[in-house]
Amino acid sequence: MDKAIPESLQAAIDRVGNAVDLIRDQPIRAFSHGLGFVPREFTNWREEALAWHTSCALMDQSHHMTDLFIEGPDTVRLLEHLGVNSFAGFGNDKAKQFVAVNGDGHYIGDAVLFGLGDTSVDLVGRRTVIDWVEFNARSGDWDVTLDRDPQSVQRGGRPPRLYRFEVQGPSAGPLVEKLTGQPIPDVRFFGMATLSIAGHRARAVRHGMAGQVGFELFGPWEEGAEVYDAILRAGEEFGIKRVGSVAYSTANLESGWIPGPLPAIFTGDDLAAYRAWLPATSAGSLGGSMASKDITDYYVTPYDLGYGRLVKFDHDFVGRDALRARAELPHRHKVTLVWHPDDAARLFSSLWTPGPTYKYFDIPKARYGQFQMDAVLAGDRQAGISMDCGYVVRDQAVVSLAVVDEEFARPGTEVRVLWGESPCSAKPTVEPHDQVEVRATVESAPLDRFARTKYRAAAQA
């Protein structure tokens, strides 16, 4: 029997009549790091989440991301066409955060791009931008070949093509030196080097998800177990701690990376062919209190997300003219919102006290849609969008990452987060509940001072 052809995103929008209604009710759970392939906890998530501050954390990133291997003479030309980034000097053993937008300059997605050779790359991340690049590569006149390696949950039981491990924290440098018998590679942020670990050749990228010093190591899956064991042995004297999927999910709250802005793919005649190609289930699910019926109200730009430093006009790319026109205009700013502890306590205690019951806030990560969009309020108006929220154990604080209008972006500004949906959507993660306003204080993003200064300065050097 022939396999059924999945409904396209465009067909689903036409059937439902509104893109917001479609994705608000889609029964797709929030993105999960481990996906059942990485233990939720090795010890407990509280201590594991402290390890990248106090010693050294070991994270297994082999299963939750999608890899798109691109090879051929037009590889860089294709990526230049789709990415806002400059590709001057990019090539083998170089890496960068790749950002793509639509023709109006609205964000579609971002991922990490690894140069594996002069005409060979691996684009790694959430599927939003992977889908976009794959569609353009297949539908355009590009001399490239593609090899897509999906998340482990979609791989049909076969292993990943690559292992991917992260070591990060104050002891990450000494650990790598002991592991390799060599000084730490002299590479800048997002620079790459080749290391010898347990007799195997491993590639190392200098960066870290939680804003601390770190290296991402990757190589053939078949060598991963030996490399992993070697890291653990070398890390014993440094107090290395394995990090499960629960603690890992909070790292971005400290580093300031927003993992789930809504991709701006739901409107525009120029994207009609893409929506006809993309399965509706790939569009994800929308959660949160923001209630506009206009899907474009949920769109953001690279400037809103703090990616203005990555936008370079030294090449032609999709959305170039729109971004150039926006470059000097006011825009929203990425911030951390620190929720008022009394209000957060009231939210939690509604589970066991008489009165309204508020939307369950899962600790340490509370996102209940793939794209979390909660209204940020100031006075009687919406001042921004809270896009990811959870608990940071080091700071003993409930926080969210948000984009807010410029006038509310100064640290110390008081705003309110509207938590919960009204009316409640049909997502399986949403129970009947009441909405509640939570006071919050604007702080910088990243929240971590080291990530905000020395670490980010290296990224822009």
Query: Rounded distance, CA 192 to CA 189, Å?
Result: 9
Residue 201 exposed, middle or buried by CB count within 10 Å (0-12, 13-18, 19+)? exposed
Task: Return the closest-CA partner of residue 292 out of 272, 266, 270.
Answer: 266
**How many of the other CB atoms lie within 10 Å of CB of 10?**
19
Enclosing H/E stretch for 343: helix 341-349
Q: Residue ranges for the binding site?
A: 216
Task: Look at residue 34 in the predicted model and tell me its pLDDT.
Answer: 53
Q: Which residue ranges make up each domain of the chain? A: 45-64+159-255, 66-150, 332-460
SS3 category, 188: coil
DSSP-H helix ranges across 100-256: 127-139, 172-180, 224-235, 245-248, 251-255
Query: Rounded distance, CA 82 to CA 452, Å?
Result: 28
Give CATH for domain 45-64+159-255. Answer: 3.30.1360.120
Counted residue by residue, the chain has a size of 461
Distances (CA, A) of 115 to 110, 203, 215, 290: 16, 11, 16, 39
DSSP-H helix ranges across 66-146: 75-82, 127-139
Residue 146 exposed, middle or buried by CB count within 10 Å (0-12, 13-18, 19+)? middle
Q: Which residues, 6+ apart, have CB-to-CB distance to 223 below 8 Å?
A: 163, 198, 200, 202
Task: Look at residue 184 in the predicted model and tell me its pLDDT.
Answer: 87
- The amino acid occupying position 360 is Y
Q: Residue ranges for the binding site for substrate?
A: 216
Task: Look at residue 448 in the predicted model and tell me its pLDDT.
Answer: 67
Task: Look at residue 450 in the predicted model and tell me its pLDDT.
Answer: 47
Positive or negative CA dihedral for 218, 222, 223, 224? Answer: positive
The answer to whether the CB of 147 falls within 8 A of the CB of 135 is no
> Per-residue pLDDT tens for 122-143?
999 999 999 999 999 999 999 9
**What are the per-10-residue average pLDDT scores of the chain (461 residues)?**
80 97 91 74 97 95 95 98 96 95 98 96 96 98 97 86 96 95 87 95 84 87 98 97 96 92 97 98 95 98 97 98 96 98 97 96 95 98 98 96 98 98 96 98 83 47 39
pTM of the complete model: 0.94
Task: Return the closest-CA partner of residue 17 out of 29, 25, 5.
Answer: 25
Provide DSSP, 407-441: GG-STT-EEEEEES-SS--S-TT--S-B-EEEEEE
- Is the domain defined by 332-460 classed in CATH 2.60.120.10? no
Give CATH for domain 66-150. Answer: 3.30.70.1400
> Would you give the DSSP letter of residue 380?
T
> Per-residue pLDDT tens for 46-89?
999 999 999 999 999 999 999 999 999 999 999 999 999 999 99
Q: Which residues, 6+ apart, have CB-to-CB distance to 63 below 8 Å?
A: 34, 35, 37, 38, 151, 152, 153, 160
